[in-house]
Amino acid sequence: MPELPEAETVARQLRERLIGVTITDCRVGRDDIVREGLSTLSWYRGARLAATCRFGKSVALECEKAGDRRFIVFELGMTGLLFFTLLSPSYRKHTHLTFSLTGSVPALYYWNPRRFGRVYLLNRAGLERFCARRFGLDPLTVPWEEFRSLVGKRRGRLKTLLMHQQAIAGIGNIYANEILHRARLHPYRTASRLQFPTVKRLYDSMKEVLTEAIEAGGSSVRDFLAPDGTKGDYWQRHRVYNKAGQPCPSKCGKMIRRLKGERSSFYCPSCQPK
């Protein structure tokens, strides 16, 4: 956490509340969080927020100043969050970057209790190189033929492919489990051996699960909160994730099982045969 649906939820809330406002000040709580180089934090003072976008699990603010456009890319990592207001004094301890803003939202806070997230300051050329190096195809917009070609070339396990950020950007353990159950595919199936109709079923399931999760505001299974402090509701619709020992929701009569590995896989042995 957070994965693509949570990052998209964050990007949409930023778009709704912050477009057109100006950054008046930037305060850093921990220096190793911010990666300068292609831009500097001082440049963003006086810049207007022109757009927001999402790259995989990361969220970017596009800023405009004196005809120049630069970007702030928030790498949310495992526990990174953006807030419009700090929910309690306890959040101040791990608030590593604060932007003071004009308008109805006085500030934007980057909070992260762990060290997996970073904030990158990039110009346009730097953003393009950054994205090319880190992010594969976006599962919400990838054309069918491109997805089919990608799957056909991969000889490894199917779940590993779904979570490979340089191949398909944004899917983590939670949604990989949910997508594979809906597609009726075992996590250990070999990607390149799937037949055309099976790949199409996977493609459709991937888009359906992610779209439904975004509409529900993501999944708040651990720490995720949207910038306005609300929780995502999609965890209530999870079919297999973290449900080992519970009946399969397809009513096949089997219990959900757990495969232990680098990331635990949850599956139904009847609906998802190996």
Kind plus residue range of the DSSP H or E element containing 119: strand 118-123
Note if 146 is an active site residue.
no
Please tell me which residue in 2, 5, 187, 227 is annotated as part of the active site: 2
> Which runs of consecutive H residues, i.e. helices, occur in 120-228?
124-134, 144-153, 158-162, 173-183, 196-215
The sign of the dihedral angle between the CA atoms of 88, 100, 120, 234 is: positive
Helices 173-183 and 196-215, axial angle in degrees (round to 10): 130
Query: Which residues have CB under 8 Å from 236's CB, separation 6+?
Result: none
Bridge pairing between strands 68-75 and 257-259: unpaired
Please tell me which residue in 17, 54, 57, 118 is annotated as part of the active site: 57
Q: CA–CA separation, 50 vs 34, rounded Å? A: 21
Please tell me which residue in 3, 6, 8, 62 is annotated as part of the active site: 3
Q: Can you read off the two tokens belonging to residue 26?
A: 């930037």
Q: CA–CA separation, 14 vs 59, rounded Å? A: 9
Q: Can you read off the two tokens belonging to residue 228?
A: 């306005």
Q: CA–CA separation, 53 vs 49, rounded Å? A: 12
Please tell me which residue in 35, 154, 231, 263 is annotated as part of the active site: 263
Contact 158, 188 (CB under 8 A): yes
Note if 2 is an active site residue.
yes
Note if 3 is an active site residue.
yes
Note if 143 is an active site residue.
no
Catalytic residues: 2-3, 57, 263
